[in-house]
Structure formats: structure tokens, C-alpha cells
Amino acid sequence: MDIYIEKLQDTDAEGLYKFELDNRAFFEEMVPTRGNDYYNLEVFKKRHEDLLEEQVQGGSYFYLIKDKDNSILGRINVVDIDKSQKTGHLGYRVGQAHTGKSIATKALKLLVETVTDIDIKQIKAKTTTNNIASQKVLEKNGFERTATDSGEFEMNGERLNFVYYILTIKVKSYLTSMK
């Protein structure tokens, strides 16, 4: 499937709200809930405006993963950017109907190519020990596993830990190795 990533825009609010609402139960199986307020349309719109402002300030970059029909398949972000260290933290999610199709892997490759334009040299990521699919996406894109948190937490009745990854971007070698 051909995909592209597009920077989050004001006009995306309602489509993104529908995407998040449609996939809420699926996402909450793998990541902690964002809470009920997040799914209130007015609260969602305000948070959307806040994300756009954060993006303008350069503290984070938010992208939607879309197909050729301009449908939202997921989202992928680099947040908490430290400009002096040239680092950022990765976040992504793909809708339930689109999992298992290499969409996250392709979107992450596109994101890494894009962040070289915004002068980020290292991307940090974390996932949970039970999210094997996410671990594979990271590893396929050259992320190195650096640690597993010793502190457990409970989510959906399961005891989990966070697994941490880092990608140090070497522009020419990364782009060549991913062809």
C-alpha cells in the first residue's frame, strides 16, 4: 500500500477525531488510555489547536499517515524536541483496520527522512514489553534497543515494563540502507 505522511493541519481536526474515536478500544489495548475527556469533541478540538501551536514553536512535529485517497491510517510524531541536543521522542499509532500491512514501518522510514530536514540527529522511542509489533517496527528502521525499565506497571490486567530504543541518524547511511 502506498502511503505518505503529512504535517498536521487545522483542517484535520474532525477527521482525526473520528479516527481516534473509531480506534479507541484498539489503542487502549496497547497503550494507556488518554481518558474520557480526550474523546469530548470540544476538548479534542482545543487539544488539536494546542498541538498546532506546539508545532509552530518547533517543540514537536505531528504527522498524519494517509493513503492515496487521503484517508487517515494513523499518526506519527516527534515530540519533546531538545534543539540543543538535536533529539526528539517518537510516537505513532496505526488504526486497527490497517495493522499488519507494514504501514508503521513505511511511515517511520518517511518520518526519519523528514526529520533530517528539521535537524534532529537522534530519536528516542519506548514501547511496552507486550507490544512486539512496535518493537519490530522500530528494529526494522534501525532503532537499537537500549534498555528495559525495571519498574513494572499494570495495564489491562497485565504486568508490563517499558522497552527503550534509540536511533542515531546518519543521513547517507540510513537512507542507503533502507532502499
Residue 148, by phi and psi: left (phi above 0), alpha (psi -120 to 50) or beta?
A: beta
pLDDT (0 to 100) of residue 179:
52
H or E element that contains 112 = helix 103-115
Q: How confident is the model at residue 96 (pLDDT cuts 50, 70, 90)?
A: very high
* Boundaries of every domain in the chain: 3-177
Determine the Cα–Cα distance for residues 70 and 139; give it in Å rounded to an integer: 28
Q: How confident is the model at residue 76 (pLDDT cuts 50, 70, 90)?
A: very high
Q: What is the mean pLDDT of the chain?
A: 90
pLDDT (0 to 100) of residue 126:
94
What percent of the chain has pLDDT above 90?
Answer: 69
Report the sign of the C-alpha dihedral through residues 149, 174, 84, 79, in that order: negative
Give the pLDDT confidence of 6-15 residue by residue, as tens digits.
999 999 999 9
Give the pLDDT confidence of 4-57 residue by residue, as tens digits.
999 999 999 999 999 999 999 999 887 777 889 999 999 999 999 999 999 999
- Answer yes or no: are the C-beta atoms of 80 and 62 closer than 8 Å: no
Residue 24, by phi and psi: left (phi above 0), alpha (psi -120 to 50) or beta?
A: alpha
pLDDT (0 to 100) of residue 178:
54
Determine the Cα–Cα distance for residues 27 and 21; give it in Å rounded to an integer: 10
- Answer yes or no: are the C-beta atoms of 94 and 111 closer than 8 Å: no
Q: How confident is the model at residue 173 (pLDDT cuts 50, 70, 90)?
A: very low
Determine the Cα–Cα distance for residues 95 and 158; give it in Å rounded to an integer: 22
In terms of CATH architecture, what is 3-177? 3-Layer(aba) Sandwich (3.40)
Tell me: pLDDT of 160 over 90: no
Determine the Cα–Cα distance for residues 18 and 161; give it in Å rounded to an integer: 30
